[in-house]
C-alpha cells in the first residue's frame, strides 16, 4: 500500500498541472466572490464560510478525471486488478493520494482565503475544523464518482453530475457548522457522514473499477 501510494504521489507531482489548477481555481473563485459581494466587511464575513466551502467543493472536482483515466487507458488498472490486490485497497490508495495532493492543500489555503474574506479570527479554527472532514468526504465521494465514470463516454461530463448530489449534504452541514452559534449538531453530522463514507466509498469504488475493467 505504501509503495503504491508513493508511486501515485510521484505521478501526481510529475503531472501536477491538475492539482495546481485546482488550487488556482480555489483562490480565484474565492476572490471573485469577494469582488462580487462588494467591500462591506459585514457582508464578506457573513458569506465567507459558504464561499470557502463551495469553492473547495468545486476545486476538488478538477483533478478527478486523471484519477483512474490514465490507468484505464494504458492497462495499469487491469494489471492491478489481476494482481490479486483487493479493489477496495486500490480505491483507498487513490483516495489518500487525492486528499494529499488536493484536499490537504485546499485545507491549508482555506485559512488565508477566509482571512481575505474578512472572516473573524475566532471563527477561523471552526471553519478549518469543518473542512477537515469535508475535504476527506470530497476525496472519498470524488474517487467513487471517478470510478463510476471510468471507461464511460463523456466521463468528464458525467463525473460532476454523479458527485455534486452526493456532496451537497456535507456542504450543507459543513457551512451550518461554520456559521452557527451552536455548531455541535451539524459538526457531529459531518463526522457521521465521514464515518459512513470511510468504509462504503472504497467498497463502492472497488466494485465500479471491476465493472469498468470487465
Domain total in the chain: 1
Q: What is the mean pLDDT of each run of 10 residues along the chain (214 residues)?
A: 85 80 92 85 89 93 83 82 86 92 93 91 92 95 89 72 88 91 91 95 90 79
- b/e sequence 105-131, b meaning 16+ C-beta within 10 Å: bbbebbbebbeebbbeeebbebbbbbb
Full residue range of the structural domain in which residue 102 is found = 2-213
Cut 0.85: pTM above it: yes
How would you class 46 by CB atoms within 10 Å of its CB: exposed for 0-12, middle for 13-18, buried for 19 or more? Answer: middle
Amino acid at each position: 500500500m505504501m509503495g503504491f501510494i508513493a508511486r501515485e504521489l510521484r505521478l501526481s507531482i510529475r503531472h501536477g498541472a491538475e492539482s495546481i489548477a485546482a488550487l488556482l481555481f480555489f483562490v480565484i473563485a474565492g476572490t471573485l466572490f469577494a469582488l462580487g459581494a462588494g467591500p462591506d466587511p459585514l457582508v464578506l464575513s457573513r458569506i465567507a464560510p459558504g464561499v470557502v466551502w463551495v469553492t473547495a467543493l468545486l476545486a476538488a472536482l478538477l483533478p478527478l478525471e486523471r484519477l483512474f483515466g490514465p490507468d484505464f487507458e494504458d492497462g495499469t488498472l487491469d494489471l492491478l486488478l489481476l494482481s490479486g490486490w483487493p479493489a477496495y485497497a486500490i480505491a483507498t490508495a487513490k483516495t489518500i493520494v487525492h486528499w494529499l495532493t488536493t484536499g490537504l492543500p485546499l485545507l491549508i489555503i482555506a485559512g488565508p482565503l477566509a482571512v481575505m474574506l474578512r472572516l473573524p479570527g475566532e471563527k477561523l479554527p471552526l471553519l478549518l475544523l469543518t473542512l477537515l472532514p469535508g475535504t476527506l468526504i470530497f476525496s472519498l465521494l470524488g474517487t467513487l464518482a471517478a470510478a463510476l465514470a471510468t471507461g464511460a463516454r463523456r466521463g468528464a461530463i458525467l463525473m460532476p453530475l454523479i458527485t455534486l448530489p452526493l456532496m451537497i449534504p456535507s456542504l450543507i452541514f459543513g457551512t451550518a457548522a461554520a456559521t452557527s452559534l451552536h455548531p455541535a449538531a451539524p459538526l457531529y453530522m459531518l463526522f457521521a457522514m465521514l464515518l459512513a463514507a470511510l468504509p462504503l466509498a472504497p467498497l463502492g469504488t472497488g466494485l465500479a473499477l471491476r465493472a469498468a475493467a470487465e
